Amino acid sequence: MSNTYELRGKSALVTGGAKGIGRAIAELLVANGASVTVWDRTPASAPSLSSAAVDVTDSTAIAKALSMLPEPDDPAILVNCAGYLGRTQSFIGHRADDWERIVSVNLLGTMRVTQAVLPRMLEAGRGRIINFGSLAGKEGLASLSAYSAASGGVIAFTKALSRELADKGIYVNCVAPGPIDTDMIRDLGEEALNAMVKDSPMKRLGSPHEVAHLVAWLCSDASRFNTGSVFDISGGRARY
């Protein structure tokens, strides 16, 4: 896509940016002039990206990686994209250690990283925080109960935090994708994948780059009156 966004001079931190949606976001932000640091359990290998191995469930690792960012007011943009889906299964048979990991990565990881970065944004008097929920967090999806709950928590966290920060120049929004063509979705298996496509009014999965453009717009000055919002990107699949 040829759309461009004015992000020169802005620094960004993208969690989960080594692949999938996070990688597409990181690359698009760089292409539009931002300097980008990626935090992921597996460092991103790209000459245009600064990268560190960070597990968002580990507060010590977060603090250490944050201390290595170069400027006291970095980052101006935080994209909380680290996520773990697991597999579709009934909740009664879902092992506790796995659903606890889903909550820890998706919800608590978002909260941990945000709490660590927020003092720098408050000191600078500016910032954009984009959290990743999911369509599952709005509608609840059978066989993905824990992921739905964690995503719903991200949505509620976004709305609550946005009210705290709206008068401080820091805007907090949430992106809630439907099924996007990533390894995380394809790992659910062909049957689940086909069902998602069938349920889509557009009869396809979204692409990571389509999600990245929504995030880049939210990071730009064109998005000046948006905070506490949840942006569906589902190809018409969202029902409300």
pLDDT along the chain (240 residues), means of 10: 85 95 96 95 82 96 93 82 92 97 98 97 95 94 94 98 97 93 79 80 87 97 95 82
3-state secondary structure of 131: strand
3-state secondary structure of 81: coil
Residue 2 domain-assigned (yes or no): no
**In this structure, what CATH number is given to the domain that contains residue 185?**
3.40.50.720
Number of domains in the chain: 1
Q: Which domain holds residue 130?
A: 11-233
> Taking a C-beta distance cutoff of 8 angstroms, is the pair 68, 46 a contact?
no
Residue 4 domain-assigned (yes or no): no
pTM value is 0.93
Which residues are catalytically annotated? 147
Residue 188 domain-assigned (yes or no): yes
Provide CB contacts within 8 A for 232, sequence distance 6+: 135, 138, 176, 177, 178, 238
Instruction: Look up tokens 């994708």; give the residue.
Output: 177
Residue 5 domain-assigned (yes or no): no
Residue 62 domain-assigned (yes or no): yes
Q: What is the pLDDT of residue 71?
A: 65
Residue 184 domain-assigned (yes or no): yes
Residue 6 domain-assigned (yes or no): no
Residue 58 domain-assigned (yes or no): yes
